[in-house]
Structure 1
């Protein structure tokens, strides 16, 4: 199993990355997602992949919406953040250097998934963290013009281990459908259909349990090493 080791530089213990949450607060506020999304395993697994990287301090960012214009960063408190990377972006140092254990265990940095209308989105990155000891900075792209404040502890991105094999997987093309797709369609579109949780519970269309099924990620909270 791949591990992530954080070498803390300036980050406070109360802001260590935490296991990502499977749910989103807005799901209960939207009639289309209330009572449904928190049972949708593809969404909850994506939401809870890895660990949330939080802002080590507070600051304000202002941007006029022109991609060629650099943002203005001010009201900075207890963090290192600037606009050096690109127009319409800001870069923040989260206060640690991450390393992975095994060759081929990339550190994947990705936006926090399935959030609604953020002011910014973290750029995705794959870092060869099993050997690369460089400074770790998050580059965040603005998504709309205006001025907004980032508070201490606000989520900035998520990080997880990504195995090298995933990027070089072969793509095979076959006609038709997988063996059980027609049975799944028939079950899903039957006249007396009621919402079931077959995928969530790991059941095939005929009700057979799938022994390899996962319902969650096994997270271990980060603890400082003495």
Structure 2
């Protein structure tokens, strides 16, 4: 399978870099002992797609108005291609950025375009969109919405868009069903054993038990394991994502 990325920038202009999603986040680094990285679902979300990086550093300021000219966008140094990359197009506090590519996905696969997961920016929110890129013959834009009047800054190399793929048409066939847990005895037993281990471990941490303090956290999900008396470890569990770098082809 291939994700085809066709640059749409004018001749002589380099399109924004696309890189596999990176795990690190500044706010996660700032946790004591980098505790936030113990959350495997966040790590996997951060790396389950590709980042499109800002080709330049720029500033944007919104005065709270509803018109296009109520957003001002500028760079610290002259950048002749700024207006082709970032602009106020939709008004109402929305910044529009051009990815620089038209994407083609395999049949049946759509593209989810959004902000990089768990990448936090104060004062502005990335908007998300699902695009049927298996047939679409033109590019889409990435948009950010100011959450209040003020100024924001995007650094060169910072992800302004995150893309990943999904087979969304199958969602129409899925029926959410709410059931009592005791209607599934096997699952209820697995949950009960996990809850017992979790409670006992937290009590040991509270008592400052040396072994529990040294262990610091339970790794059942991180290692794809059940509590030992329930079932063997999963063989299909993934705890590290290694996506491919884009490559140029004719």
- When residues 165 and 210 of structure 1 are mapped into structure 2, their CA distance, relative to the original with a 3 A threshold, is farther
Report the structure number with the largest CA radius of gyration: 2
Quote the residue 2:62 is aligned against.
Answer: 63
Q: Is the 8 A contact 1:85 1:139 kept in 2?
A: no
Q: Which residue of 2 aligns with 1:133?
A: 137
How far apart are residue 223 of structure 1 and its match? 1.5
**Cα drift, residue 174 of structure 1:** 0.4
Match 1:204 to one of 203, 226, 231: 226
Q: Which has the larger helix fraction?
A: 2
Aligned position for 1:54: 53
The yes-or-no answer on 1:181 pairing with 2:181 is no
| CA distance in 2: counterparts of 1:12 and 1:166, whole angstroms | 37
Q: Give the corresponding residue for 2:246.
A: 222
How far off is 1:87 after superposition? 0.5
Matches within 5 A, 1:1-226: 3-10=2-9, 12=14, 15-31=16-32, 34-66=33-65, 68-70=66-68, 71-75=70-74, 77=79, 78-79=81-82, 80=84, 81-102=86-107, 104-165=108-169, 167-168=171-172, 169-176=174-181, 178-179=187-188, 180-190=190-200, 191-192=203-204, 194=212, 195-206=217-228, 208-226=232-250
Say if 1:4 and 1:87 are closer, same or farther in 2 by CA, change over 3 A: same
Give the distance between the partners of 2:240 and 2:133, measured in 1 at CA.
25
Q: Measure the CA separation in 1 of the matches of 2:248 and 2:178.
A: 47
- CA deviation string 1:134-155 (max 9, x = no partner): 1221111112321233233221
Report the count of equivalent residues.
220
Query: Can you give the 5+ residue segments of structure 2 that lack an aligned partner in the other structure?
Result: 206-211
Unaligned segments of structure 1, at least 5 residues? none
Cα RMSD (Å): 2.2
TM-score (norm 2): 0.79
- Separation (CA, whole Å) in 2 of partners of 1:48 and 1:118: 22
**Please, what TM-score do these two structures have when normalized by structure 1?**
0.86
1:196 and 1:165 mapped to 2: Cα distance?
37
- Alignment partners' CA distance in 2, 1:166 and 1:29: 40
